[in-house]
Chain A
Amino acid sequence: MHNLSIKRLVEALRAKKFSSRDLAEHFLARIERFQERLNSFITVTHDQALAAADAADQRIHAGDAGPLTGVPIAHKDIFCTDGVKTSCGSRMLDSFVAPYDATVVARFKQAGAVMLGKTNMDEFAMGSSNETSYYGPVKNPWDLARVPGGSSGGSAAAVAARLVPGATGTDTGGSIRQPAALCGITGLKPTYGLVSRYGMIAFASSLDQGGPLARTAEDCALLLQAMAGFDPRDSTSIDRAVPDYSAGLDKPLDGLRIGLPKEYFGEGLDAGVARVIEEAIAGYRSIGCEVAEISLPNSGLAVPVYYVVAPAECSSNLARYDGVRYGYRCEDPKDLTDLYKRSRGEGFGAEVKRRIMIGTYALSAGYYDAYYLKAQQVRRLISNDFKRAFEQVDVIMGPTSPSTAFRLGEKANDPVKMYLSDIYTIAVNLAGLPGISIPAGFHDGLPVGLQIIGNHFEEARLLNVAHKFQQETDWHTRAPMEA
């Protein structure tokens, strides 16, 4: 059962080949079996999952099934889940039981999905390796000595190891696409404004976007369908009609114009990864696509800009954790300042503190113009690069990550080195564009992800381009370990 796609699971449930309860029990047993090795979950909602599965079975019997009724799913622990611990990977929220559902969570409930639990992640989604989690690092199912990527590393590892057929993630600078690449699965970061951020714990509000992780583009289309759409509760949600993401998956790609940014194939890219990506591009050429070199001249400035914009927004967003209304509170505060300082000092880990301090510094009196304003201007230049590129090509392709999964501890003590593992993903967030990472092959036994970037609201095209590749290749069917 755990090797079936979400599409097949939906069909089998409707045909009553097995029940939603059978499915939930099967996956819960797998989660339990692999938890010690992978550490991909923070909370497993065993009893609630079985109750939801029973309710799903009743709906199916009554002929009242929604699009995902009975399908198991896991949510990144950044999405608020009513009555269930929502930690965001932090000691600060270790005891936080959310009093309401995020819009994404509510929509999956409405579509009939059965939540099995909450997945591990970098603390407050700040990290590229899952090593900043208060609950310990997640291991990569392809090699337990390596990281799964981050920050949605728990979701990616769980999907790759077949502990759940699909999961949610969030992507602020690559946090869906990079772990999807490093774990050998498919992950989509939608256009900014497509998926509601209501109840999604805020990190950098002008960059954060929720999206799906699954094994195939076809499954990501089903999950995105449940997630996407206008939400009046998110002031940056965009009010426009949501297309049918599954309808155009099989469209032929003849004449599709693919742009390869020369900046994505230069210094810093692992040669083995480059070879896999070039073979994947050759595959697209062989099914009728036109490939052209393009330039995104300001690419090299994306990481520098991001490390002003994201920390600035994070320092402001995380000011809400004050030890007063919810979350961690220090013991015996001697006055109000002590309450704030020690609750935050003890509740946040080192990487979160670094980013709060960078943001605080960049926004402090006298430095605002040199850092924040400058970054917002360069952000415009980066966005303009993409605008120009999309006048010439339909999609942009390149590697998702400059290397395959790195070793646990390899970059943990060197923030700048860690930050540079997101050199190909960050610009997409700065420009608010959609991007998808799909399995493109292996280098030394580790998965390599191909990143496909589209223009705003072109998710259907990205899913189509990804699906056609997955019809020609079998990389997305490869399973790690004994899974």
Chain B
Amino acid sequence: MALTSEDIKKIAHLARLQIDEQDIPGYARNLTEILALVEQMNSVDTSGVQPMAHPQDVSQRLRPDEVTETDQRAHFQQIAPQTEAGLYLVPRVIE
């Protein structure tokens, strides 16, 4: 399936990625080639095959609902771009 520049813009928006206008045709070409590679898997019939989500077919382990971590908010916020009073700051979202 050939992707157009419009497709790339839509996908980039869904992924919240800023893409330079001049790079869009290159991405369209690359992604089209990658999808052509991927579509080789359509050569095999998979009707009735159980999808494999985990290499060992193991399901997620559950643990008791107990508090095991201590509060390290201040420590973790040291590496944040912008915080104030224990909160992460972002541009205004509500006018």
Contact = CB atoms under 8 A, between A and B. Distances in A.
Interface string A332-352: 011111111110111010100
A358 B14 CA distance: 11
Nearest to B19: A345
Interface residues of B, number: 54
Given A304-B39, A374-B42, A381-B44, A344 B17 contact: yes
Interface in A357-408: 357-358, 360-362, 364, 371, 373-381, 383
B56 A360 contact: no
Interface string B3-38: 100011001111111111001000100110111011
A91 to B, nearest CB: 14
Contacts of B18: 341-342, 344-346
Nearest to B63: A232
A326 B23 CA distance: 27
Counting chain A CB atoms within 10 Å of each CB, the highest count among B12, B27, B75, B82 belongs to B12
A317 to B, nearest CB: 12
Contacts of B86: none
Contacts of A432: 54-56
Contacts, number: 165
14 contacts: A193-B56, A206-B55, A239-B61, A336-B91, A350-B23, A357-B8, A357-B11, A361-B3, A374-B46, A375-B38, A377-B49, A377-B51, A415-B33, A419-B34
Interface of B: 3, 7-8, 11-20, 23, 27, 30-31, 33-35, 37-44, 46, 49-56, 58, 60-61, 63, 72, 75-76, 78-82, 88, 90-93
In the A-B complex, the 8 residue pairs with the smallest Cβ-Cβ separation, listed nearest first, are A432-B55, A345-B18, A376-B51, A377-B46, A329-B81, A380-B52, A340-B16, A341-B18
Interface of A: 96-97, 99, 192-193, 206-207, 232, 235-236, 238-239, 298, 300-301, 303-305, 307-308, 315, 322-327, 329, 333-342, 344-346, 348, 350, 353-354, 356-358, 360-362, 364, 371, 373-381, 383, 415-416, 419, 429-433, 456
